[in-house]
Amino acid sequence: MFKKKITSLDKSTTVDIFIKRPDKYREIENFSLEADNLITMGGCNSYSAASFKKNNLSLLFTKFDRVLEFDKFNKSITVEVGVKLSELLNFTLKHGLWLPQIPGYPSITLGGAIAANAHGKSSDTHGTIKNQIKSILIFHKTHGWMKLSNNENKDIFELTIGGFGLTGTIVSVELKLIEIAGYDFTTTVEKVFSAKDAVKKLCSRDLDNIFSYSWNKTFNKKKFGEGLIFNNKINENKENLTINEMYFKTDNLNKHFFLNLWNKYSIKFFQNVYYNYFSVYKKKIANDNFKNVLFPYSGKETYFHMYGKKGFIESQILVTLNKIDIFIDELEHLINIHEPEIVLFSIKKMIGKELFLRFENTGMCFTFDFSSKNKNLDFLDKLDALCVKHKLKPSIIKDSRLSSSTVQKCYKDFENFKKTLLNFDSKKIYRSELSDRIGI
């Protein structure tokens, strides 16, 4: 077994790990039984180090990508979770079905999406991936093979969805699929004058078959959060269209430029170009294909490379509707004082219920991308304090900087998660850099 140096996507963590790639069922058993501690790895596309830990074994699961059962009539599929989401969609879309909770990059695997309880572009209609999961098959070093569902091992079922892979290796999953009305989109763009205006407009939308999110500028002190709202509406015409298989080049997400090219000048420049391009030059209504809407980062990897070798931090915060106004006021105040360099600021609506460590609730999801500069890190500490003060949820899978103390204070189920997990796996066999950092 050889050691491999691996770096998280946000470049916050680089460690040596052992890695094995099972491609037979008995190898899942054998490799797991041989290791003291391990964790499962899918596409290794998590921003934070969720699929590896220093000197521990990672089971690379990409060979487990097969369709085990498919029932078009009942809109149900059982599939091995090493399948890339783009490949899963290539299969289901041919049958007029899909899984709507798709994160933004095509090489993310289904297992990774389940372990993170991913939400997609339609998080305001379909919620998180949890809503599509009927049952899960896991392999655990001490418990062996376990079927999990609402009727079997329910507590571990709940713990596994959004459980960061800590309950064992998720091997396959049975999903409820959803009929899709069409294979292309009409995208409309509208201006918003502030972050509060964006929230108001996003909340007032009729959301059937529409994915809405905002893109906001971060340097306009007079109009905080001035920007654009993008509405991707599915064209309901699939009878007249054929869907071509989506093909993506080998991903090069992990590369980077030597220097960080994001600074206050380049951010201002790019934000102004982007804003003017969409508000002045580009048509207000345009056609978009499935691939571009579902996987917006694919083909735009340069965005990540521009953060340089020190990488970036993405902070995603879920704010319940009753706290939106006060959050935006205090956020604006903090930004005015600390003047962080925020490269990306976006808002979208989410629905769901909070449980354990899932990034899920009904509210608005605020996303901010920063380069790893001290000034930005200081600002993020203030943002953490704001989350603690108002009991807002920062995303654990996205923000590799979050401390155990912040997570404990923001997730009311933290102790419950930890206790239930410890009852199930008292030796803490399944561990990652992420789980160690947040103290579970």
Partner 1 sequence: MNYLIVGASSGLGRDLAYALSKKTHNLILISRDIRDLVAIKSDLENRFKTKISTYSVDLASKTSVIAFLDNREIEFSLLDGILFPIGMMSDNDFITGLNSKAEQIVNANFLSIVKFTEKIIPIFKKKNNGLIVGFGSIASSLGRRKNILYSASKRALNSYFESLTASFENSHINIQFYILGYLDTNLAFDEKLSLPKASTKQLALEVVKNMKKNNIKKYYPIWWGLISYFISLIPFVVIKKIFKFIK
Q: How far apart (Å, rounded) are the C-alpha atoms in residues 378 and 338?
A: 8
Which residues inside 290-329 make contact with partner 1, applying CB under 8 A?
A: none
Q: Helical H runs in 225-285? A: 264-276
* C-alpha atoms less than 13 angstroms from C-alpha of 30 in its C-beta half-sphere: 8
Any idea what the Cα angle at residue 360 is, between residues 356 and 361, rounded to 5°?
A: 110
For 379, the token pair is: 């600002």
Q: Considering beta carbons, is residue 18 or 274 the nearer one to partner 1?
A: 18
Residue of the chain from 16, 33, 66, 236 that contacts partner 1 (CB under 8 A):
66
Contact letters for partner 1, residues 8-37 (x by CB under 8 A): -----------xxxxxxxxx----------
Contact 202, 260 (CB under 8 A): no
**CA dist list (Å): 114 to 101, 135, 245:** 10, 11, 24
d(CA 213, CA 119): 13
Q: How far is the CB of 20 from partner 1 (least distance, A)?
A: 6
Decide if residue 2 touches partner 1 (CB under 8 A): yes
Q: Which of 124, 93, 289 is nearest to 208 (CA)?
A: 124
* Cβ at position 92, least distance to partner 1 in Å: 11
User: Could you tell me the smallest distance in angstroms from the CB atom of residue 31 to partner 1?
Assistant: 10
- Candidate residues 41, 43, 44, 80; the one interacting with partner 1 per rule CB under 8 A: 80
212 three-state secondary structure:
strand
Phi, psi angles (nearest 5°) of residue 163: -100, 10
Q: Is 154 in the site for partner 1 (CB under 8 A)?
A: no
CB of 97 to partner 1, least distance (A): 13
Which of residues 18 and 297 has its CB atom nearest to partner 1 in the complex? 18
Nearer to partner 1, 90 or 266 (CB): 90
Residue 385 as a binder of partner 1 (CB under 8 A): the answer is no
At 411, list the tokens.
């997730």
8 A C-beta contact, residue 379 and residue 338? yes
Output the smallest distance, CB 24 to partner 1, in A: 5
Closest CB to partner 1 among 109 and 212? 109
* Dist CA 288 CA 221 (whole Å): 33
Give CA–CA dist 403/68, Å, rounded: 40
Residue 234 Cα distances to 125, 184, 204, 219, 349, angstroms? 13, 6, 19, 33, 18
Minimum CB separation of residue 248 from partner 1 in Å reads 16
Size of the site for partner 1 (CB under 8 A): 19
The residue range among 33-41, 59-67, 193-201, 284-292 that interacts with partner 1, by the rule CB under 8 A, is 59-67
- Nearest approach in angstroms of CB 305 to partner 1 is 25
Residue numbers 234-263 binding partner 1 by CB under 8 A: none
**Measured from the CB of residue 66, what is the shortest distance to partner 1 in angstroms?**
4
Based on the shown chain and the rule CB under 8 A, indicate whether residue 1 belongs to the binding site for partner 1.
yes
Query: With respect to partner 1, which residue has the nearer C-beta, 91 or 303?
Result: 91
Minimum CB distance to partner 1, residue 70 (Å):
5
Q: Is 91 in the site for partner 1 (CB under 8 A)?
A: yes
How far CA 30 is from CA of 140, 208, 313, 421, in Å, comes to 11, 47, 37, 23
- Considering beta carbons, is residue 65 or 413 the nearer one to partner 1? 65
Question: In the complex with partner 1, which residue's Cβ is closer, 21 or 382?
Answer: 21
**Residues interacting with partner 1, by CB under 8 A?**
1-2, 19-27, 63, 66-70, 80, 91
